[in-house]
Structure 1
């Protein structure tokens, strides 16, 4: 079905920030890695994707903002809806999708030689987002504040982003994503390379952002999933089969009273 309604009009609806995958399957060449995954990621909440390595969590995350299609030989079936808009509809430019659905990667990837200030505003150029010159200072301060970094860097905004610590660089990447006003923020193990203090600050940032942004996070840390998420989806790929969701629901239910014994075994550390 062709959607003629622009993303901006969809944002005006109450459920605009809800992200929904419908029967998403994914392949690398002839190898199927995801099998008909359906999941609703509610607006203004945190959805954690959990499961052992190789079960398709990160691949699924990449299908949610059309990064999967950039891999040579990769293909996909199904739909991903932002509100009522299918982001794979040919009417949408890739930059427009990325403006609404941002991504924070496992390894912080600021532009190392670019200043902290310019790192925040870099996403504006990449997505074609226009902001008046006299508004940029306020935007940089706002985004760094929302990412929990402003107090630490406000006196060195013209210094290179690569000079920051790993945890600070990750929060700088979050600020860069926020500058384009995304509806959804995807996070692929954003704390896996960070120390406990930096991890705590990233988790605090996630909690602060959920009133404005829908967040989907891949994590192997079960304690982190319990701390930060409202709902969880447990992925599993068994005996060479493609990855699929075994169980999903409220985080408390998935951890405290899972329906499937495989979920219970995984969240209690008996495998994976």
Structure 2
């Protein structure tokens, strides 16, 4: 097994190079289509995810929400036989452009998965800084210490773990592990954070804490979240996009707009039925 622990003697420069832009970024999908082999799962999806806002992707299982999310930082292409068409613009530049590096997309557009996935035998501290090595960035011990406290604070976990940073990340509760994963994603200072049903495996108390973390991060980073929980979408998001795949057709967006409008006065009757719980 490869050891991803960073040595305290590493000398480094933290992830934001001099002159690099910081703060939330606008992400825009243009005519995004996706396939698994010959099976088309998304059909020309276009969506703007404004800087500093929370965009919720809602819809029944199998409509392409998570696949769309994975196209936004080039995770989709890791799947064998996966194909992609369209553009994903990060501040106006296509992350799939021939001059764009995969590592740049993954650093600027972080991701938190459905199931918490900290490195279980690695300490809380080393979990947070692991992303530095994995993205090829460098930092000295003092810079790492500052980064660990900053990232855990932004993820709402610092006060709970500051006295046990050298204990294994796998010893934390499920909700704490998910917030540790959020801290690990934030440590490389992304400008967009993708979240694929981050609360689906958590109890109500842990879910509430993760939602509080999302509220605290809003404005600092652009967030795109997939959720099946309509109440959660209403609580945490500024805008929603309702995905649907009907009668074996590829998934697409039926309706998008402000969360308040989507939940109160949707234009499409299918949207109204879904948010009211009549199907899905």
TM above 0.5: yes
Inter-partner Cα distance in structure 2 for 1:254 and 1:152: 37
Partner of 1:136: 144
Partner of 1:164: 172
TM superposition shift of 1:215: 0.1
Are the equivalent residues in 1 in contact too, given 2:244–2:251 (CA < 8 A)?
A: yes
Partner of 1:184: 192
1:127 to 135, 140, 158: 135
> What per-residue deviation string (whole Å, max 9, x for no partner) do you get for residues 152-175 of structure 1?
101100000000000000000000
Matched, 1:68 2:69: no
TM superposition shift of 1:128: 1.1
* Distance change in 2, residues 1:103/1:60 (3 Å): same
Inter-partner Cα distance in structure 2 for 1:102 and 1:211: 16
TM superposition shift of 1:129: 1.9
> What per-residue deviation string (whole Å, max 9, x for no partner) do you get for residues 95-130 of structure 1?
111000000000000000000000000011111122
Partner of 1:207: 215
Are the equivalent residues in 2 in contact too, given 1:100–1:184 (CA < 8 A)?
A: yes
1:53 to 48, 61, 68: 61
> What per-residue deviation string (whole Å, max 9, x for no partner) do you get for residues 41-86 of structure 1?
0000000000000000000000000010111101000000000110
1:19 to 18, 27, 40: 27
Partner of 1:4: none
Aligned residues: 265
For residue 86 of structure 2, give the secondary structure of its aligned residue in structure 1: strand
Inter-partner Cα distance in structure 1 for 2:76 and 2:18: 26
Matched, 1:226 2:237: no
For residue 78 of structure 1, give the secondary structure of its aligned residue in structure 2: strand
TM-score normalised by structure 1 residue count: 0.95
Are the equivalent residues in 1 in contact too, given 2:22–2:191 (CA < 8 A)?
A: no
Matched, 1:197 2:233: no
Query: Please, which runs of 5 or more residues in structure 1 have no aligned partner?
Result: 1-6
TM superposition shift of 1:133: 2.3
Partner of 1:256: 264
Root mean square deviation, CA, Å: 1.6
> What per-residue deviation string (whole Å, max 9, x for no partner) do you get for residues 191-214 of structure 1?
000011100110000011112100
Are the equivalent residues in 2 in contact too, given 1:187–1:217 (CA < 8 A)?
A: yes
Q: Where in structure 2 are the equivalents of 1:102-117 lying within 5 Å?
A: 102-117=110-125
Q: Where in structure 2 are the equivalents of 1:25-104 lying within 5 Å?
A: 25-104=33-112
Are the equivalent residues in 2 in contact too, given 1:143–1:176 (CA < 8 A)?
A: yes
* Distance change in 2, residues 1:206/1:133 (3 Å): same
For residue 279 of structure 2, give the secondary structure of its aligned residue in structure 1: coil
TM-score normalised by structure 2 residue count: 0.92
